[in-house]
Amino acid sequence: MADSKIISRLFFRLLPVQIILVAIGSINSIIDGMIAGKLIGPLALSVIGLYMPVIKLIDTVNAVLVGGSQILCGQFLGKGELDKTSKVFSLDMLVTVVFSLIASLLMFTIPGTIGMGIGADSETIDGLVSYLRAMSFGITGQILASQFSVFLQLEQQEKRTYAGIAAMAVSNVTLNVLFVQVFDMGLFGLGLSTTVSSWLFCIIQATYYFTGKAAIRFSLKDLEPAYLKDMIRIGIPGAIVQFCLTIRGLALNKIILGYAGNEALSAFSAVGTFGCAYYAATAGVASATRLLVSVYYGEEDRAGLLLIMKTALCKGVALVSAVAAVSIALAVPFTNIFCADHSSEVYRLTLQYFRIFPLSMPFSAFCVIFNNYYQCSDRMKIVHVLSIIDGMIGVVLSSLILAPPLGAMGIWLSQVMNGVYTLIAIYAYTMIVNRRFPTSVEDMLILRDDFGVSEDDRLDISIKSSEEVINTSQQVVDFCTQHGISGRHSFYSGLCIEEMAGNIVQHGFVKGRKNSIDIRVVYKDGGVLIRFKDTCRPFDPKEMSSIFSPEDITKNIGIRMVSRISSRMDYSYVLGLNVLTIKI
């Protein structure tokens, strides 16, 4: 199929960035955990563990904004509506700043109240208050950085994100050593170094929006408050997951302290800080899926959606399984990062958890891939159910049952059981909707009957050279004729292919590279829709069609002719693809 190579290539180009974006928060947590365990002591690890629910609570709101804005932007880009994408971006930035400033103010002014609320005791409260105050200065930078990362990816500016992450990691390590070891600032220094490095990451990304090159721009004039409702509605599932994870963290803190003690809480904290980094492979696969699905769902491309899901479920889950296997194999060196005393109970429990937790990852990958797909396709009921099971109920209930007889081991095993529950829920849901057991990926997509077009009503072609253009033009004419399109409009459709595809081959193909244009011709509602996709440099024919040169009347004549014979022409540059849609 024409789109298969493009989809696979896009998926694996997006995947590394998405994995790193998900791991961003973990990078600082890992560094803090290493410094805390080695330079401050085991009690500092407990403080970081207690802080995890605060991170989850902040991520709850951030997840709404990131998820809602990402899906909305993808759908608008799929429809070629770039101006609406800028409006979503502007609204997202404003709401993000307001929320993050409120969160920062609360963390700085009432850290003691927050500390007691998340389970601190007399041993940990003073250290937690210092850590919360230091971290409060960096909340705005941290959240803005995660927002910028999403939009920079749409702009093909992943290198700025990579540079920001590298700078953040280096500065955090350097400042941690300086503040903690040299200046002896303890947990306040630990949090302050994270704050400074988060702002550095944010600033490196933000500079792009001052270059004048950004296609998606911030403007107070572009604010569209009505989009906030859609952003929240679409992003709510992410908030439910984060909220459930917050409750789960609070519940597990109490269960661990009640049935396994402070040593198990330190182990839980160590794996929690590092575990999020390799779990990022799972969330990265899900995020790449969500980004692609949102665009192809906006296009109502049934075949494209099926290809995306097959790619995610086959290659994505295989990748996550490989990461899980490597994580188990490296359990000992991972444990050594946090625990120097191999004879301690903390070391034994941490090693045990590092070997068990990765077993849950393939199950989680399957769940979050479908959860993100259902979110993009507006099936919110099952998304909410899966979010609650995966985020809280599965782990907490299993821990309550298994912790009394098995102690820490029961809590570790509950992570794996959670994946099994969500897998059962997905199959049960599709079986209820379809009224039969799903036997294929397409069954599990549960697309409405009128979504997209059937295979008989579409023609997929891939062009790799100028010699193929003429033959393709005739194929399109024949396709239109077979569907009862008038001779004139059939001729126009073929002419459109000949002119636009020929222009892309002549001016966009790069010598020495594997160039191709994917073309889809669709018969729908008695008319013809033609969509071109290519990976050449950005080129908007809508702009070129308006250029007329008195010195050279032939300039852009082909594009101007297509513009005149078409009833609609939409262009967007989506995820590194030129996407041109023409209606004849």
Tens-digit pLDDT profile for residues 366-415: 988 998 888 888 888 888 888 888 878 888 888 899 989 998 899 889 98
Parse the chain into domains and list their residue ranges: 4-443, 456-583
The per-residue pLDDT for 335 is 86
- Residue linked to tokens 């759908």: 75
CATH of 456-583, one of 3.40.50.2300, 3.40.50.300, 3.30.565.10, 3.80.10.10: 3.30.565.10
- Distance from the first to the final alpha carbon of the chain: 24
Tens-digit pLDDT profile for residues 476-496: 888 888 888 888 888 888 888
pTM > 0.85: yes or no: no
Q: What does 92-112 look like in DSSP terms, one character per residue?
A: HHHHHHHHHHHHHHHHHH-HH
Q: Is the pLDDT of residue 544 over 50?
A: no
**How large a percentage of the chain has pLDDT more than 90?**
10
State how far the Cα of 366 lies from the Cα of 439, in Å rounded to an integer: 16
- Residue linked to tokens 């049960």: 428
Q: Is the pLDDT of residue 357 over 50?
A: yes
Tens-digit pLDDT profile for residues 406-460: 988 998 899 889 888 999 999 999 999 988 888 888 889 988 777 777 777 888 8
The per-residue pLDDT for 140 is 92
Tens-digit pLDDT profile for residues 7-32: 777 777 667 766 766 666 566 666 77
Q: Which carries the bigger pLDDT value, residue 404 or residue 301? A: 404
Q: What does 483-539 look like in DSSP terms, one character per residue?
A: TT--HHHHHHHHHHHHHHHHHHHHHH--TTS---EEEEEEEETTEEEEEEEE-SS--
State how far the Cα of 561 lies from the Cα of 502, in Å rounded to an integer: 14
* Amino acid (1-letter code) at residue 265: L
Q: pLDDT confidence of 4, banded at 50, 70, 90?
A: low
Q: What is the largest CA-CA distance in the chain?
A: 87
Q: Is 573 helix (H, G, I), strand (E, B) or coil?
A: strand
The per-residue pLDDT for 346 is 85
Task: State the average pLDDT for the chain.
Answer: 80
State how far the Cα of 457 lies from the Cα of 476, in Å rounded to an integer: 12
Segment 130-147 mean pLDDT: 89
Lowest mean pLDDT among 23-27, 310-314, 319-323, 529-533: 23-27
What DSSP state is assigned to residue 178? I
Question: Helices marked H in 299-344 — which ranges?
Answer: 302-311, 317-329, 331-338
